[in-house]
Chain A
């Protein structure tokens, strides 16, 4: 693939441009805050304090970030193969089924440290299976994976409503949710970690799934950059033709990558079901699958970028909740706007400022952009 842009130093490519894009996204979000008649700077201060002001708030921030690490990694793995998995939401939602079935079956007689690995397998298997169908259809029948995964989000939502309302709901209960899980399927909290650092946490849902998410971030890094499969995935994503020429099976890469992606998205279901609510309720994913797109784009599909990006969105979720108390004009839906703006500026318009930045670089030091000193006019 030839890019129509000249090269920039790596730090500008991976540091400066994402930061500039992000700043523009937040500046536009600030305009929306102005439009509803509030002070954007004060809003930012409340948001930041709400996210990091106390141990309690930090624990909540990390709890939300856990969801986004899973879904962000899911989108990123697919990106490396040049696939856009927009179905993380549906994969996570349907995986609630895998988690709930394991948890409901074993919570009465197994301790949590035996239920947890089984539930991880259940979640990963369900997510992978749900991603397998669009992957198979893309690889074998040529149907566009974006469209199929969108359709599968809706199908998953309908299926889960049906299952929760008509099948899984205990008799005599009104709310469309499963019964409450017994302690055998309740994951231990991680609040002691923050308390060990001298912060006080009253009660926050941060749990051991956070550590699982961090471990998976490392696994994904190792998989993509340190294994043969990862090399094949990246080759396929960079140039499917070259991959085919090198004897890399197209069908295998599409299906395997999408199943890994689906499994990662699916494990997100562990966090709210076994870690927080101790039951599976309607719409427990609450958009985390879509946030994953923003997180992956912001983190440039690298785990080292995805974890901070996920924490940033965790901050927006937690801080946004506090903000809604302080400023009645701003509800949590503000995050949806910010998410959209981040996707727009860090994703679709990622190259908008590149020519300008290149011109600046070229005029400051022509060699840094790979041009001979005589032609200093940039790309």
Chain B
């Protein structure tokens, strides 16, 4: 039981950056702007977030800075792919490289700790929150244990991430902005004909992406870990992208996809090198590759069919 609770607890912790990045991608891609630069924006957010938190001593300032830099990169992506109708994939690749290189160069130049930022402690880091009554119900079997160990005791960003799921659902499917956002990803010409600016709508979508990737980055370096280490996103942006496809660009399935991929990650760390019943020892690399393999299989239409927003990846030309 304890092992299971620990495993699920670890799953939640490693799922959060995936979930935030995945929801970030959801806004952009639903509006018809492909974004493979989630990784880069998250990395930049993690670095600037940890730097600002270390210098100012406040986790909140770190969070703001992280969101700021991620929104900046999101706007660069928007400038290239919306305003200048550039190739969205190329732009995303560029952002990933710029972020990967500059976080190392600036980190070394500013802090001289081999690309690390100074370790954060106290107010400079988001601390675990004990939910009301968590200690009181600790001894109640099952439910009490789950509440006190699994649900309570995370940093605020964890709760924000999971609240973003219903919020995103509400925005996308119950607001005017959401309706237009989905429309612009399917048929921008129709939206344009209705007198709504495709450009401004898509810019708002990439700004949402920037905000959420900033949160994801800040979570990595200011909440989950006490500081930035180089290349700390380690492909999470791409796993989030995989989860987004796996979830067929829908918020609630996105949460389950991220939890599934997070669980695989947590389990591969927990059970590293342990023999499994029946199949024997599974190489850890196989488990690491599983999200990518699953996504390929899904994309190929062997389990269900993932159909991307119809106007995704195509820059909108107003007049022909």
Contact = CB atoms under 8 A, between A and B. Distances in A.
B94 A331 contact: no
A150 interface: yes
Interface string B56-76: 000000000000000000001
A293 B94 CA distance: 10
Given A290-B97, A331-B105, A158 B301 contact: no
* Interface core residue of B36, B93, B242 (most chain A CB under 10 Å): B93
A349 B86 contact: yes
Interface string B266-310: 000000000000000001011011001101100111000000100
Nearest to A154: B292
B108 interface: yes
B88 to A, nearest CB: 8
Contacts of A86: 89, 93
Contacts of A338: 101
A4 B85 contact: yes
A343 B286 CA distance: 32
Contacts of B317: 4
SS class, residues of chain A in contact with chain B: helix
B36 A150 contact: yes
A166 B109 CA distance: 38
Interface string A1-26: 01010000000000000000000000
Interface string B78-100: 01110011111111011111111
A151 B295 contact: yes
B299 A35 contact: no
A337 B296 contact: no
A341 B94 contact: yes
A312 to B, nearest CB: 16
Given A4-B317, A141-B300, A347 B292 contact: no
B113 interface: no
Contacts of B235: 154
A324 to B, nearest CB: 10
A343 B285 contact: no
Contacts of B120: none
B102 interface: yes
A92 to B, nearest CB: 16
B86 A347 contact: yes
A340 B320 contact: no
A294 B90 CA distance: 9
B54 interface: no
Contacts of B108: 36, 329, 331
A155 B288 CA distance: 9
A161 interface: yes
Contact of A350 (B86, B99, B288): B86
A331 B103 CA distance: 12
Nearest to B91: A348
A141 B93 contact: no
B94 A347 contact: yes
A351 interface: yes
A162 interface: yes
A334 B94 contact: no
A112 interface: no
B146 interface: no
A144 B245 CA distance: 11
Interface in A257-310: 290, 293, 297
Given A147-B295, A155-B289, A343 B300 contact: no
B241 interface: yes
Contact of A147 (B109, B245, B286, B293): B245
Interface string A330-347: 110111111111011001
Contact of B97 (A146, A151, A158, A339): A339
B242 A151 contact: yes
A35 B106 CA distance: 8
A42 to B, nearest CB: 16
A137 interface: yes
Contacts of A158: 285-286, 288-289, 292
A32 B81 CA distance: 24
Interface in B180-208: none
A351 to B, nearest CB: 6
A233 B245 CA distance: 29
Given A32-B102, A337-B102, A348-B90, A162 B97 contact: no
A154 B290 CA distance: 10
Contacts of B295: 147, 151
Contacts of A336: 97, 100-101, 104
A143 B90 contact: no
B134 to A, nearest CB: 38
A84 interface: yes
Given A143-B300, A147-B295, A343-B97, 17 more contacts: A36-B109, A84-B87, A143-B301, A146-B34, A150-B241, A151-B292, A154-B238, A154-B289, A162-B285, A290-B97, A329-B109, A330-B105, A331-B105, A331-B108, A340-B95, A349-B79, A351-B84
The 3 closest A-B pairs by CB, nearest first: A340-B97, A336-B101, A337-B101
Interface of A: 2, 4, 32, 35-37, 84, 86, 137, 141-144, 146-148, 150-152, 154-155, 158-159, 161-162, 166, 290, 293, 297, 329-331, 333-341, 343-344, 347-352
20 contacts: A32-B102, A36-B105, A141-B301, A143-B296, A144-B308, A148-B299, A150-B36, A290-B93, A293-B93, A329-B105, A333-B100, A333-B104, A336-B97, A337-B105, A340-B96, A344-B76, A347-B90, A348-B84, A348-B90, A349-B91
